[in-house]
């Protein structure tokens, strides 16, 4: 299979399980726990949801109302503590109709072993479930703001239409903001059908159905050797932020020093028989690409050609763009179709192509970190930052 990870949505809801009190606050990164992310209770709490809004097409916003919080936990097949991460929220659409959403939000510690992948999988997932199909064409966007303590992205996947993502370093921890609209995602109900995406009859693949999808995932760059989901090489030089409506995708790779490729896949046609139209965006730091492929000429080329190529070598007609902005390579592709196209970036001497629009990289002044020790009862925690502060409930030792 060419795709390293299928579309996978963790459905740890179990709202009817016996409610067992669970710790609230920062998650110990060295544990094997999967913690539910709940609404923050104060301005300094971490590993929690700061806000959750719906943005209407007219620019107005409204907060979602939590009506059934996540509560309780259980031991999984690896005897790991897993929080029930499902919660129920309501909001009003532009027509004042009250809608309900089930949301799962969880953070996996560095020693958490995923039953699905049978390996360590430190990551943060936030998934919207039970989305009304009318929301796909409503123009509504959902805006999520959350804070984490130690999470360090090595890759971000945005499964939403017109998605955006930002990171803000705090005195302690990090704030992440995700904005996107749901889209209709295709489904294949068997591994055999999925395998057809890489077969000579891939254009015969038809979706078993469509459903509204909206979620995002941050894969963590683990401090444990071999503990990251993806190859950790060059992780210190940043991470990719990618959005698409494929059901299978992999990490970017270079087939030669001037060609960067992305493999994505989904059924060729919708269940209605229409062609399955795709979208793809990615933002990758140039520093990461130069570290990972130091001999590449792509990031130094004044012109780069973007093409959508089928497995038979033919190219598709699509709307594409590529530019470098503040040291980030930004790629956009819309209007192509599935089943298993390859998105190809290639250095070019074609003068008819526009010159890459670049803006200077903003150089940050390096400030020295310092470490303090914080205590809460018998628990000791070290905090390293430019201006370290103890988390809520902890005192400086």
What share of the chain has pLDDT > 70, as a percent? 89
H/E element, 213: strand 209-220
Question: Do residues 31 and 109 make contact, with C-beta atoms less than 8 angstroms apart?
Answer: yes
pLDDT at 387: 65
Residue 148 vs residues 45, 183, 295: alpha-carbon distances, Å: 9, 27, 36
- Residues near 38 by beta carbon (within 8 Å), at least 6 away in sequence: 24, 48, 49, 69, 70, 87, 105
pLDDT at 368: 52
In whole numbers, what is the pLDDT of the chain averaged over residues? 87
pLDDT at 366: 36
Name the pairing type of β-strands 153-159 and 240-244: parallel
- Stretch 241-258: mean pLDDT: 91
Q: What is the Cα–Cα distance from 23 to 16, expressed in whole angstroms? A: 19
pLDDT at 16: 37
pLDDT one-digit tens code per residue, 95-151: 889 999 999 999 999 999 999 999 999 999 999 999 999 999 999 999 999 999 999
Q: How confident is the model at residue 351 (pLDDT cuts 50, 70, 90)?
A: confident
- Stretch 162-183: mean pLDDT: 96
- pTM greater than the 0.85 cutoff: no
**Residue bearing the bigger pLDDT, 382 or 10:** 382
Question: Do residues 101 and 91 make contact, with C-beta atoms less than 8 angstroms apart?
Answer: yes
Q: What is the Cα–Cα distance from 250 to 321, expressed in whole angstroms? A: 21
Q: How confident is the model at residue 7 (pLDDT cuts 50, 70, 90)?
A: low
pLDDT one-digit tens code per residue, 250-271: 789 999 999 999 999 999 999 9
Q: How confident is the model at residue 379 (pLDDT cuts 50, 70, 90)?
A: confident
**147-161, 220-234, 377-391: least confident range:** 377-391
What residue has token string 């606050």?
Answer: 25
């Amino acid at each position: 299979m060419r795709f390293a990870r299928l579309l996978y949505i963790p459905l740890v809801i179990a709202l009817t399980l016996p409610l067992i009190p669970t710790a609230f606050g920062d998650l110990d990164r060295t544990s094997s726990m999967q913690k539910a992310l709940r609404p923050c209770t104060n301005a300094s709490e971490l590993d929690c949801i700061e806000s959750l809004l719906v943005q209407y097409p007219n620019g107005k916003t409204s907060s979602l109302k939590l009506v059934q919080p996540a509560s309780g936990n259980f031991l999984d097949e690896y005897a790991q503590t897993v929080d029930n991460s499902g919660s129920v929220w309501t909001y009003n659409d532009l027509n004042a109709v009250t809608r309900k959403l089930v949301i799962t939000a969880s953070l996996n510690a560095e020693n958490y072993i995923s039953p699905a992948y049978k390996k360590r999988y430190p990551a943060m997932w936030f998934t919207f479930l039970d989305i009304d199909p009318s929301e796909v064409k409503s123009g509504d966007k959902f805006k999520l703001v959350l804070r984490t303590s130690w999470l360090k992205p090595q890759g971000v996947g945005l499964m939403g239409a017109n998605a955006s993502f930002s990171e803000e370093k705090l005195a302690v921890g990090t704030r992440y903001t995700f904005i996107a609209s749901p889209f209709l995602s295709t489904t294949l109900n068997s591994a055999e059908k999925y395998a057809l995406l890489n077969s000579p009859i891939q254009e015969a693949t038809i979706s078993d159905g469509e459903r509204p999808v909206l979620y995002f995932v941050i894969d963590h760059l683990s401090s444990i050797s071999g503990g990251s989901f993806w190859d950790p090489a060059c992780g210190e030089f940043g991470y990719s932020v990618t959005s698409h409506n494929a059901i299978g995708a992999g990490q970017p790779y270079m087939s030669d020093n001037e060609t960067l490729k992305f493999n994505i896949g989904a059924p060729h046609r919708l269940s209605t028989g229409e062609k399955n139209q795709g979208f793809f965006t990615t933002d990758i730091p140039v520093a990461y690409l130069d570290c990972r492929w130091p001999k590449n000429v792509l990031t130094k080329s004044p012109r780069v050609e973007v093409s959508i190529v089928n497995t038979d070598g033919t190219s598709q007609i699509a709307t594409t763009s590529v530019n470098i902005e503040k040291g980030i390579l930004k790629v956009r592709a819309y209007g192509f179709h599935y089943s298993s196209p390859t998105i190809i970036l290639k250095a070019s001497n074609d003068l008819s192509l526009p010159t890459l629009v670049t803006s200077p990289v903003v150089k940050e002044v390096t400030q020295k970190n310092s470490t303090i020790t914080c205590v809460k009862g018998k628990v000791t925690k070290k905090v390293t930052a430019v201006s370290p502060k103890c988390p809520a409930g902890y005192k400086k030792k």
